[in-house]
Amino acid sequence: MKISFNINGSAQTVDVDEKTPLLWVVRDLLDLKGTKFGCGKAACGACTLHVDGESVRSCSFPVKYAAGKDITTIEGLSSGDALHAVQQAWKEEIVPQCGYCQPGFMMATAAMLDKIPNPTDEDIDNNIVNICRCGTYYRMRKAIHRAAEIKNTNS
Amino acid sequence: MMKKSNFKFFLLPLFIVVCSIVMTMAFEIEEVPETEMTSNSLSENAAPANEPFDKMMAVLTHKRCVNCHPAGDRPHQGEDSHVHNFGVQRGEDNHGVAALRCESCHQQENNNYSGVPGAPEWSVAPLSMAWEGLTRVEIAQSMMDPAKNGGRNLAEIVKHLTEHELVLWAWEPGVDAEGNPRELPPVPKDEYIKAVKDWAAAGAVIPAE
């Protein structure tokens, strides 16, 4: 089945089984490897990307639901060389350890900041529930607050 | 007076007969599975006057329904009705919080690859429709109360109970993350739909219990 959508600002059409997880399409067909496979059952959040601005676990998202939508992956979060506030904060706070889960956290954070510009610790606890086996949660919390500062300053 | 040898002669056969009866009864009970007993009790043994109500409420009190009719802000999940993993909350619109929406994981149909269930309008029932912890009579009373049921009249309640895709998902709940089929409600879908309509047609009487 041919399915068309925009991804990171570019129009794409793929010809796949409509139930193929969007994650498979993004990684294996479009060669965008930044979005990670973690658990495969929408539990860990490593595969988080945006569909029409909403954070989605792409391992559990059949590609047919992406038809006509705007998809953003970690590769499309920045504007050219200008890092997104979340990316900038992640650098400043030296958040990643192994780094595998970080794209999912960053995409979830970016989606949250679009709706909650100044998140409290409680907002972070309620909205960012991805899993990091390295336990970088403390640094991520600092980075999320810092990202909010950067984003609000820039805007 | 009976001689001692005659007494033994009488007791032994009696003992054997009694044991046989007891063992036969025990095996007969063991051979009937629990689910079959439940099914029989719903379809055959219930008092005819309450049978539609019994069938309807056997479904509405099942975990496939009550898991998403929580008394608080946290939905439940699974066959053991544990609190939904990941700190999931109902949010202001019953579809989750800002960046952790129901739709972040649940789509419009079951995903049997990931084991994530899905159906149109997947959401938590409004808090006014909380069923967790209520008796079946209290659930029925709540369901019929326009102040709690979203202002629905009887016809609208019947339509919701018998036609809404999210309600009927209970009979097509898919598989869990391990690939195991989820438990179905204890009454077949067509029997449930008929029971709801029969109950409503007979005046939607809620028995006193």
Model pLDDT, residue B148: 96
Q: Are residues A23 and A68 in the same domain?
A: yes
Among residues A50, A76, A102, which one ends one of the domains?
Answer: A76
Q: How many domains does chain A have?
A: 2
Q: Are residues A149 and A92 in the same domain?
A: yes
**Does some domain include residue B15?**
no
Among residues A43, A76, A109, which one ends one of the domains?
Answer: A76
Q: Which residue of A has its CA nearest to B104?
A: A56
Q: Are residues A10 and A38 in the same domain?
A: yes
Q: Are residues A141 and A95 in the same domain?
A: yes
Q: How many domains does chain B have?
A: 1
Give the ipTM: 0.94
Q: Consecutive 10-residue runs of chain B (209 residues): their mean pLDDT?
A: 48 53 44 37 49 96 96 95 95 96 97 96 96 96 96 97 97 95 97 98 93
Q: Are residues A13 and A34 in the same domain?
A: yes
| CATH code where residue A42 lies | 3.10.20.30
Q: Are residues A69 and A110 in the same domain?
A: no
**B100 beta partners:** B97
Q: Are residues A9 and A64 in the same domain?
A: yes
Please state, in angstroms and rounded to a whole number, the distance separating the CA atoms of residues A131 and A105.
8
Q: Are residues A64 and A93 in the same domain?
A: no
The pTM for the full model equals 0.84
Instruction: Choose among B87, B97, B104: nearest Cβ to A57.
Output: B104
Q: Which residue of B has its CA nearest to A38?
A: B114
Task: Give the end-to-end CA distance of chain A in Å, rounded to a whole number.
Answer: 41
Test mutation, A20, A24, A61, A122, chain B, max B CBs within 10 A: A61
- Does residue A13 sit in helix, strand or coil? strand
Q: Are residues A140 and A108 in the same domain?
A: yes
Chain-chain contact of B104 with A65 (C-beta, under 8 angstroms): no
Which parts of chain A sit beneath pLDDT 50? Answer: none
Instruction: Write the DSSP assignment of B117-129 as a string of letters.
Output: ---TT--PPPGGG
**Does some domain include residue B158?**
yes
CA distance B73 to chain A (A): 12
Among residues A58, A76, A94, which one ends one of the domains?
Answer: A76
Q: Are residues A54 and A105 in the same domain?
A: no
Per-residue model confidence as pLDDT tens digits over A123-145: 999 999 999 999 999 999 999 99
Contacts of B89 in chain A (CB under 8 A): 126
Domain ranges, residue A95 = 85-154
Q: Are residues A101 and A150 in the same domain?
A: yes
Model pLDDT, residue B209: 82
* Burial (0-12, 13-18, 19+ Cβ within 10 Å), A55: buried
Chain-chain contact of B105 with A60 (C-beta, under 8 angstroms): yes
Residues 6+ apart with CB under 8 A from B26: none
